[in-house]
Structure 1
Amino acid sequence: MESANVVNDYNNQDSNVHNTEWVPLSLTLVEYPKGDILGKILAVISLAPFGIGSGFIALILFRRDLHTITFFLGTLCSEFVNHCLKHLICEKRPLRREDVYVEYGMPSSHAQFVWFFATYIIYFVVIRLHHMNNNTIIENVSKFFILSSSLLLAIVVCISRVYLQYHTVWQVLCGALVGIIFATFWFALTYLVFTPLFPQVVSWRISEMLLLRDTTLIPNVLWFEYTNTRQEVRARSRKLVSMKSQ
């Protein structure tokens, strides 16, 4: 009798497993035509927003810079705007993707994300970094590389969404346009409203506990950190040598 109950329980569990409806996590699901090398490359590139998001989190955890945090909040707000627009417009994805994706396709969230990111980076380099007086060849080349790579990434991601038939051309163009407009708004808001408040924010007790900092007035943060770290290492090295000599 007991063995029969065990068998029945097992059969019931097996039946529940077979009856369970499994759905893909569309956020990370990327398909490409089998044997299509270009499609595979574009599928990998289309995951760029997730890499950028991971980079934001890493920078925030290790640098605690208010401008980086504000930039990241802008990307979250942009995604919220995209979500609202999708459910307001309610335009479906291309026919081939309707069975895989239950969410709407207008505007493209990938296109909006990458163009928000690229546009904000362009504004930051052109407007915020204009006061760097050194203008060395290395700095100019690095600025050009940042601008060109940001634009190239945004363009390729948009191409991948159309090539892999996740969006129509119109959905991608609308997503790019919304991303550019929102990035312009967010950069202006950050530059004119948030940035003047950063010195006050870093003086708060909670900011000190979280080690938040404002590097707005430092033209070249990388060079600043490098020189200060080198000076500190040399000072500590001399102090260690003097202690050993005693």
Structure 2
Amino acid sequence: MDDAPLASLSLTHVNYDASDPYAYFCAWLALVPQALCVVYVTLAWSSREAEIVLMFAGQMSCEAFNWGLKRWIKEERPRQMNGRGYGMPSSHAQFVSFFSIYLTLFLLLRHKPHPTETHTPISFSHRFLLSCAALVSAATVAWSRIYLNYHTPKQVLVGCGAGFSCAVVWFGVTEFMRRSGWLAWGLDLVVVRWFRMRDLVVSEDLVDAGWARWEGRRKKRNIRGSKKSS
């Protein structure tokens, strides 16, 4: 009996010109959305921060919107590309545009960290530079889709516009949730409290989470050690 034919999981399958080093670099850039999803899930699980969960929810909603747009517009990819599915708008461009724009809005408008006894948060100028780096990185990923001939410039530009619009709208929705008290109400639900969800990253840096407690324990341990040695 013949063996059953094997299928290919093409989630990360990228076609590129092996003789072109720039194409090789662009092929790696194609994995940025998958890498960001891993970052989302990791941060959401480790920090239990509501802002990260909300941002990830908006990101996935943006992806669903892209899925619907592609099947509504039904525009094919460039002829020289053998990729499957429709190409308008570019999902990669839309994904990274949402991420970079929402992150920029958060860092510049919502994130207002307060200094503590053990930590001085990054300044507004540093947050601005971080936002610029995110925007430049997103532009690079979007450009790579054109370089690899997966999308036309128009498809990439529309994807960037859709991602930008989704980010601005979702940022407004989450701001309304905060101001109206819906977020506070949701965080008080039994199920949410069971997952130990919190909303501290707006006023604190993630790097400062638990640091004061760690420093206190370290000092106590050092004090006990010095007493035993004496």
Q: Does 1:177 align with 2:161?
A: yes
Identity %: 28
Closer, same or farther in 2 for the Cα pair 1:232/1:208, shift >3 Å? farther
In 1, Cα distance between equivalents of 2:9 and 2:205: 44
In 2, Cα distance between equivalents of 1:129 and 1:48: 24
In 1, Cα distance between equivalents of 2:9 and 2:43: 30
Instruction: Please state how far the C-alpha of 1:109 moved relative to its aligned partner.
Output: 0.3
Q: Does 1:115 align with 2:94?
A: no
Instruction: Please state how far the C-alpha of 1:52 moved relative to its aligned partner.
Output: 0.7
TM-score for the superposition, normalised by structure 2: 0.86
Instruction: Please state how far the C-alpha of 1:152 moved relative to its aligned partner.
Output: 1.1
Other-structure match for 1:148: 132
Preserved contact between residue 108 and residue 174 of structure 1 (Cα < 8 Å): yes
Other-structure match for 2:195: 210
Closer, same or farther in 2 for the Cα pair 1:137/1:234, shift >3 Å? closer
Other-structure match for 1:82: 66
Larger radius of gyration: 1
Instruction: Please state how far the C-alpha of 1:214 moved relative to its aligned partner.
Output: 1.5
Instruction: Please state how far the C-alpha of 1:212 moved relative to its aligned partner.
Output: 1.1
Instruction: Please state how far the C-alpha of 1:157 moved relative to its aligned partner.
Output: 0.6
- Structure 2 stretches of 5 or more lacking a match? none
Instruction: Please state how far the C-alpha of 1:218 moved relative to its aligned partner.
Output: 2.4
Other-structure match for 1:9: none
Q: Does 1:48 align with 2:32?
A: yes
Preserved contact between residue 198 and residue 214 of structure 1 (Cα < 8 Å): no
Comparing both structures, which one devotes a greater share of its residues to helix?
A: 1
In 2, Cα distance between equivalents of 1:219 and 1:238: 27
In 1, Cα distance between equivalents of 2:51 and 2:122: 24
Q: Residue deviations 1:142-186, cap 9 Å, x none?
A: 313311211111110111000000000000000000000010000
Cα RMSD (Å)? 2.8
- Structure 1 stretches of 5 or more lacking a match? 1-11
Q: Report how many aligned residue pairs link the two structures.
A: 225
Instruction: Please state how far the C-alpha of 1:48 moved relative to its aligned partner.
Output: 0.8
